[in-house]
Amino acid sequence: MAETSTQTRAKRTARLSAGRLYQNRWMLAAAILAVLAVHYLGGASTAFAAVVIVVLILFAFVAPRTQAARRLAEEAARAERSPLDRLSGEKLAAAVADPLIIFDRGGAVVHANEAAETAFGAIRSEMPLLLKFRAPEMQELIEAVLAGEGNAQTAEYVERVPFERVYRVTASAVGRGTGLFVLAFKDQSESRRIDRMRADFIANASHELRTPLASIAGFVETLRGPAKNDPNARDQFLQIMQNQTGRMARLIDDLLSLSRLEMKPYVKPGVKVELRQTIEAVVASLAPLATQIGVTIERDFPEGAIEVHGDRDELFQVFQNLLENACKYGQSGGRVIVSMRLSTETGEPEVEVTVRDFGPGIPAEHIPRVTERFYRVDVETSRAQKGTGLGLSIVKHILSRHNGRLTIKSELGKGSAFTVHLPAR
């Protein structure tokens, strides 16, 4: 142990000595030159030798200080530089999540970030930008920013392949005097889709309410006029008016349900719900309807209780909507099967509840849209069955609130299967 300590001290002393020698290398060189000068110039005058030695010694003192001053100046300059000065344009462009394309005064691409290549395909350097974007609005935007000395220009650009995307594009100069310009793309597709959905919703809701109101107004006018003293016509018209007011009441109830769900879409229900009991209660509530239209509801449940976390009333509404739709629109098949099973196909345990009918089925092009508000595969059939066009939209919102999802499979002439996936906890 003592030997190790001694060796350590010796190594430390050697390092310190070497460092001191390196720091005083100019002084040592000056001393050596002074000795050599005295030796070789010994035949010369003593005054001349003294002058040479003094000059060398002064140089030995000044040189290290000059180099030290230079090093200090360089370090101070590095410290004063902003961290942004050390970043390249490519790194800054890569950090931007939106598509970004840098081009020069000739309109040739200098750099495109990864987001731009993902959105618009390969964009190689020196590619003419006007050849990449042939839409008139993009041509005008690029030409305007090049002709306008870099003043910021904006335009709206629509990509239609492979699917429609709407971008708000801003073109501007990069700094002053760099000769570079940038195209920045901001994806507006989602906000446009929401605006379109809002406009469609208002139009559809207005139409759905206006139709029964117009019908009721017409019957009231008839009852107060030509059919005033006709008992048969009065009874018939009053029945139709009752049906229409019932339809409006159902529509308003569904709209209120959607509104409540949208106000709290991310609230996590925390109560355990036993699915078998919930679905049995739904089947019991729909038994009169099934009997009336000649549909048999069959069950295929596993043994034992199956529980999920959720809101019982909302889950009851989910299965009620699905079973009621299956009975109404699949009644030609004469039966509906409700099955339930545990699954781990997605990697996480989940409960799958499938409602299957054997009716006419749904054309494939309609399946992605059937959960949209007011969307109907067959408008006349839906209205004849007293549908509001909001049931599956409500189902989708409730399942989203429960961290679940809905999948739909259908084949024309063989029926449809709506499967509810809920996390098994």
pLDDT, tens digit (0-9, with 9 covering 90-100), for 313-366: 889 889 998 998 888 888 888 889 999 988 877 778 889 999 999 888 888 888
Question: How big is the chain, counted in residues?
Answer: 425
Q: What φ, ψ does residue 255 adopt, rounded to 5°?
A: -65, -40
Enumerate the H helices of 300-390 as residue ranges. 312-329, 379-384
Asked if residues 338 and 354 have their Cβ atoms less than 8 Å apart, the reply is yes
What are the backbone angles phi and psi of residue 386, rounded to the nearest 5°?
Answer: 65, 35
Instruction: Give the pLDDT mean for 109-118.
Output: 89
**pLDDT beyond 60 at 303:** yes
Mean pLDDT (the chain, rounded): 77
Integer Cα distance of 355 and 420 in angstroms: 8
> What is the C-alpha separation between 331 and 295, in angstroms, rounded?
6
pLDDT the model gives residue 353: 92
- Amino acid, res. 301: F
Q: Say which residue, 55 or 173, is predicted with more confidence.
A: 173
Smallest CA-to-CA distance from 255 within 92, 408, 397, 46 is with 397
Give the pLDDT confidence score for residue 23 in this predicted structure: 57
Percentage of residues of the chain with pLDDT beyond 90: 11
Residue range 359-407, pLDDT digits in tens: 888 888 888 888 887 777 765 555 555 556 778 888 888 888 888 889 9
pLDDT number for residue 18: 56
For the cut 60, the answer to whether the pLDDT of residue 79 exceeds it is: no
- The pLDDT tens digits for 23-46 are 556 665 666 666 566 656 555 555
Output the furthest CA–CA distance in the chain (Å, rounded): 152
With a cut of 60, say whether residue 419 has pLDDT above it: yes
pLDDT band, very low/low/confident/very high, at 420 (cuts 50, 70, 90) = very high
Q: CA-CA distance, 119 to 134, in Å (whole number)?
A: 16
What is the average per-residue pLDDT within 203-213?
74
- Domains in the chain, CATH or no CATH each: 2-80 (no CATH), 89-187 (3.30.450.20), 192-263 (1.10.287.130), 272-423 (3.30.565.10)
What local confidence, expressed as pLDDT, does residue 393 receive?
A: 85
Residues 153-172 have a mean pLDDT of 85
d(CA 192, CA 74): 54
Here the tokens at position 320 are 């009620």
Under the banding of pLDDT at 50, 70 and 90, the label for residue 425 is low
Residue 272's pLDDT band, with cuts at 50, 70 and 90, is: confident
Q: Would the pLDDT of 58 be above 60?
A: no
Does the predicted TM-score (pTM) go above 0.75? no
- Gap between the terminal Cα atoms of the chain: 62
Q: How far is CA 137 from CA 143, 198, 249, in A?
A: 10, 27, 48
Which tokens go with 253? 């109830």
Of residues 171 and 196, more confidently modeled: 171
Asked if the model's pLDDT at residue 71 lies above 70, the reply is no
Q: Mapping DSSP to helix (H, G, I), strand (E, B) and coil, where does residue 133 land?
A: coil
pLDDT reported for residue 72? 57
The pLDDT value recorded for residue 251 is: 76
What are the backbone dihedrals phi and psi of residue 171, each rounded to the nearest 5 degrees, phi first?
Answer: -115, 130
Question: Which pLDDT band holds residue 228 (cuts at 50, 70, 90)?
Answer: confident
Whether residue 151 is predicted with pLDDT greater than 80 in this model: the reply is no
CA–CA gap between residue 193 and residue 129 (Å, rounded): 29
pLDDT (mean) for 151-177: 84
